[in-house]
Chain A
Amino acid sequence: MGCFSSTSRKQFPGHEDPILLASKTFFSVSEVEALFELFKSISKSVIDDGLINKEEFQLALFKNRKKENLFANRIFDLFDVKHKGVIDFSDFVSSLNVFHPNAPLEDKINFAFKLYDLDGTGYIEREEVKQMLIALLCESEMKLADETIEAILDKTFIEADADGDGKIDKTEWLNFVTRNPSLMKIMTLTYLRDITTTFPSFVFHSEVDEIAT
């Protein structure tokens, strides 16, 4: 088992000990191992190097590698915790941890704020929201007149931008999502509740004694 284990980890940079990863997240050891099965299948879809690159991530999301998408890029960048241009297994588990049903709402709200703060200025600015809105309209092949887009932005900022400075800060964001809890639905993945059922093959590749799971 020792030889198998070390070879496996060499092929997968960032494949920390499942027990350690489980101790730092809301996942059990079995769930971390099931996530590894998912990670393996995504990370070998284009280049079999044990890492997820942007193309592989988009392929997994859209089942189509040609699709360029602002939101998928933002999610990828946030999952790329070490800013290496690729997602390793440890990044994958720690990022998905925020989407766990048991993760604190505060973490989900902070992650969503970072997601929408495209330029990382610490504020969600009107131009950024406009850019995301236009990206969404392109993606869904929906056409809206410029005045309609501006009206949606006006309405959004009247609701969210309490001090009226044209940008949403973290406190305003917290208040806004508290009044609009449906916005946080995308931050919880119910799939993570029964991940071991979705990827039962982890049992055959487990490196951990049953007692530790």
Chain B
Amino acid sequence: ASPLTMNAFQLISTSQGLNLGSLFEK
């Protein structure tokens, strides 16, 4: 989706820094 169709939090929540799932990936 184009950034313009998203709100700021939808964009922010795609940050790798918020992807805690990667803690579980060895």
Residues on B close to A: CB < 8 A? 3-4, 6-24
Contacts and interface: CB of A to CB of B under 8 A. Distances in A.
A212 interface: no
Interface of A: 38, 42, 60-63, 69-75, 96, 99, 115-116, 129, 132-133, 135-136, 139-140, 142, 144, 148, 151-153, 155-156, 159-160, 176, 180, 182-183, 185-186, 189-191, 195, 198
A153 B3 CA distance: 11
Given A191-B21, A191-B24, A69 B16 contact: yes
A142 B14 CA distance: 13
Given A136-B12, A152-B11, A186 B19 contact: yes
Nearest to B15: A71
A183 B10 contact: yes
A144 B13 CA distance: 17
A183 B17 contact: no
A152 B14 CA distance: 15
Contact of A75 (B4, B12, B18): B18
Given A139-B16, A139-B17, A140-B14, A156 B22 contact: no
23 contacts: A38-B24, A61-B22, A62-B22, A69-B17, A71-B16, A72-B17, A73-B17, A75-B18, A116-B9, A129-B8, A135-B15, A136-B12, A144-B3, A152-B4, A152-B8, A155-B7, A159-B7, A160-B7, A182-B10, A182-B13, A186-B19, A189-B21, A189-B24
